[in-house]
Amino acid sequence: MNPKRLPDPADVPWITARGTLDPAKFPIEVPVRQCLDPSSEDFGHRCRFLGSMASHGRVDAGIFLLGLLRYYEDDLGVIGTVVEGLGDLHDLWRSPYSPSRCRLR
């Protein structure tokens, strides 16, 4: 059996030189794909991870979470989980993409 070789941390941009995860550089596709099924056990974890990504400068992750609020507006249980993910999100409200700065035309 051929053991699977782990990638060199230098080749993975979301792993820092100290070996820790940098949420700002993690690809958004994986947690987004896992947030499409609210019945999944990982749904809450992925929402919180997207919130962490957003609080580290990934505005797209915060916008996706805000979209989940609208998409699941009739399911209070799911909305509560998404709101938990938004819990650490402070800087999005100051960004130009903030819902408070958007105007309907």
Q: Which pLDDT score is estimated for 69?
A: 92
Give the global pTM. Answer: 0.73
Q: By the 8 A CB rule, do 57 and 72 touch? A: no
Instruction: Walk along the chain (105 residues) and give the pLDDT tens digit of each residue.
Output: 566 665 565 678 888 888 889 999 999 998 999 888 888 888 999 999 999 999 888 989 999 999 999 999 999 999 999 998 888 665 555 555 555 555 544
Residue type (1 letter), 34: Q
Kindly write down the DSSP assignment for every residue of the chain, as one continuous string.
Answer: --PPPPPPGGG-TTB-TTS-B-TTTS-THHHHHHTT-TTSTTHHHHHHHHHHHHHTT-HHHHHHHHHHHHHTTT-HHHHHHHHHHGGG--GGGGSTT-GGG----
Q: Which two tokens stand for residue 73?
A: 């507006």
C-alpha–C-alpha distance, residues 26 and 8, integer Å: 16
